[in-house]
């Protein structure tokens, strides 16, 4: 079993992550895009892990500062929990990530 740090910080502001046809962004859109980002090559390069099976809660609102939890499994089979924050109309930031299982 590979040893992972208990915690790492991901200061990743994902500007333009949301590519939507409409003017407004729903809570479900933020959830879906966060899941896609957790499984992206961009995060894999930054974090040093490849994640799969990402699942996020639907945020309670679409307001700046709203946080929601996500989970994903890394390439070693360890389960991670992430906290994602809405930081703009079409922007999210992963503010925390740690191995939880």
pTM, entire model: 0.78
CA–centroid distance for 80 within its chain: 11
Residue 72 in tokens: 């994903």
The β-bridge relationship of strands 91-99 and 67-74 is unpaired
Residues making up the chain, counted from first to last: 101
- What is d(CA 6, CA 51) in angstroms, rounded to the nearest whole number? 16
Burial of 8 (0-12, 13-18, 19+ CB in 10 A): middle
Average pLDDT over residues 18-25: 50
Summarised one tens digit per residue, pLDDT across range 28-82 is: 999 999 999 999 998 888 888 899 999 999 999 999 999 999 999 999 999 999 9
């Amino acid at each position: 079993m590979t040893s992972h740090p208990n915690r790492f910080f991901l200061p990743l502001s994902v500007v333009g992550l949301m590519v939507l046809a409409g003017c407004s962004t729903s809570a479900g859109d933020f959830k879906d895009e966060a899941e896609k980002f957790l499984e992206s090559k961009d995060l894999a390069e930054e974090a040093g892990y490849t994640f799969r099976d990402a699942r996020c809660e639907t945020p309670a609102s679409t307001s700046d500062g709203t946080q929601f939890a996500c989970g994903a499994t890394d390439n070693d089979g360890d389960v991670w929990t992430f906290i994602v924050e809405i930081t703009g109309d079409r922007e999210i930031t992963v503010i925390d990530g740690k191995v939880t299982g």
